[in-house]
């Protein structure tokens, strides 16, 4: 452990409790392999297919754990939950709230595609529109919290959410105990934190590598041990809209700093599309940009140059919520 953390903020007990809470309502997702990929890139790769998870992404794990635990602890004092999200976490929270019989209000930016708004409404949540920037999202969400007395469940920077995402690592190490490393995409860092806490407690020698879109500049932050990002929080310009938040969360940053490797895999749009194409064409799975970024990291020269003793490499396919009428390598049908 690096000195920035005093113990694991998310303990193995937190993660196994999360699993007990959520497992029977979620998919135990399969691990896919591709001998073509392995022989081309010179290691054994294992693809954890969270794109098959309920609501199409890993987010349902953390959302369901947070909402269920909240209800366990506060019972009828909880009158509803809210969050701001343009995508996967909004769907996941709406689904989790519906599952627990709680009202839910999701704040979404005005430019969110109708298909995503409809998915959130489909799980019974109310939708409130806001301006498409992080500041407006946070302010609108705070207003709903105070007006309706709803509890805010952030998409990432919350230990119960992290504990839920950590269940990915429990399953993955059960399925592939010999994993030497896990590649995982970071947006605000909830999934990386949960996976890193769980995996490092189960297998201290495992390496956790973060994958980011170009412009996030996480490696410099990790090497200097400081949050170097501009305020207010910004989006980076990437086709992987699930990981466009530039800053890691305040709770996530020290965890990632302590537990993840300093070498961060930075991916361009062209590389992300190449990763997505491989998944569609050869693995026969539909994935979104964030998952394409992780495959791109697995394909990268940077990984190829790393220690050959990293033999068994896990790749988290975190979600599959791509708009199938807007596949990035194909033109869109005219309206």
Binding site for a copy of itself (CB under 8 A): 30, 32, 49, 51-52, 56, 277, 280-287, 320, 324-325, 327, 329-333
b/e burial code for range 233-267 (CB count within 10 A of at least 16 → b): bbbbebbbbbbbbbbbbebbbbbbbbbbbeebbbb
CA 111 → CA 47, 89, 105, 139, 258, distances in Å?
Answer: 32, 16, 18, 17, 36
In the complex, least distance from residue 46 CB atom to a copy of itself, rounded to whole angstroms = 14
Helix, strand or coil, per DSSP, at residue 105: strand
In the complex, least distance from residue 309 CB atom to a copy of itself, rounded to whole angstroms = 27
Cα–Cα distance measured from residue 60 to residue 58, given in angstroms and rounded to the nearest whole number: 5
Which of the residues 57, 60, 86, 258 is marked catalytic?
A: 86
In the complex, least distance from residue 133 CB atom to a copy of itself, rounded to whole angstroms = 29
Please identify, using beta-carbon distances, which residue of 256 and 283 lies nearer to a copy of itself: 283
Please identify, using beta-carbon distances, which residue of 3 and 332 lies nearer to a copy of itself: 332
User: Does 216 qualify as catalytic in the annotation?
Assistant: no
Please identify, using beta-carbon distances, which residue of 127 and 285 lies nearer to a copy of itself: 285
Which of the residues 54, 59, 116, 200 is marked catalytic?
A: 59
Other beta carbons within 10 Å of 111 = 9
Cα–Cα distance measured from residue 109 to residue 87, given in angstroms and rounded to the nearest whole number: 10
Please identify, using beta-carbon distances, which residue of 183 and 317 lies nearer to a copy of itself: 317
User: Does 146 qualify as catalytic in the annotation?
Assistant: no
In the complex, least distance from residue 10 CB atom to a copy of itself, rounded to whole angstroms = 28
Instruction: Please list the active-site residues.
Output: 59, 86
């Amino acid at each position: 452990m690096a000195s920035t953390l005093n113990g694991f903020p998310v303990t193995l007990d937190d993660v196994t409790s999360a699993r007990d809470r959520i497992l029977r309502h979620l998919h135990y997702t399969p691990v896919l392999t591709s001998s073509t990929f392995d022989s081309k890139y010179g290691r054994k790769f294992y693809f954890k297919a969270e794109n098959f998870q309920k609501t199409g992404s890993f987010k349902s794990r953390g959302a369901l754990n947070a909402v269920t635990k909240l209800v366990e602890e506060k019972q009828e004092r909880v009158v509803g939950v809210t969050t701001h999200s343009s995508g996967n976490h909004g769907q996941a929270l709406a689904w989790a709230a519906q599952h627990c019989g709680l009202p839910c209000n999701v704040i979404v930016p005005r430019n969110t595609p109708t298909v995503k708004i409809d998915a959130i409404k489909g799980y019974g949540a109310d939708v409130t529109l806001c301006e498409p920037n992080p500041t407006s999202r946070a302010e609108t969400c705070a207003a709903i919290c105070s007006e309706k007395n709803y509890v805010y469940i952030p998409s990432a920077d919350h230990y119960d959410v992290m504990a839920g995402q950590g269940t990915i690592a429990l399953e993955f190490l059960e399925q592939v105990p010999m994993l030497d490393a896990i590649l995982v995409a970071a947006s605000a860092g909830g999934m990386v934190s949960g996976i890193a806490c769980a995996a490092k407690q189960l297998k201290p020698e495992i390496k956790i590598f973060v994958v980011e879109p170009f412009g996030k500049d996480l490696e410099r932050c990790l090497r200097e041990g400081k949050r170097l990002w501009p305020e207010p929080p910004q989006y980076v310009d990437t086709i992987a809209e699930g990981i466009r938040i530039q800053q890691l969360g305040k709770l996530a940053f020290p965890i990632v700093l302590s537990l993840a490797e300093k070498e961060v895999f930075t991916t361009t749009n062209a590389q992300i599309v190449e990763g997505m194409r491989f998944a569609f064409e050869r693995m026969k799975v539909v994935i979104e940009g964030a998952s394409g970024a992780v495959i791109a990291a697995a394909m990268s020269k940077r990984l190829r140059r790393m220690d050959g003793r990293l033999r068994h490499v896990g790749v988290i396919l975190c979600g599959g919520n791509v708009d199938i009428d807007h596949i990035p390598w194909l033109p869109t049908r005219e309206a």
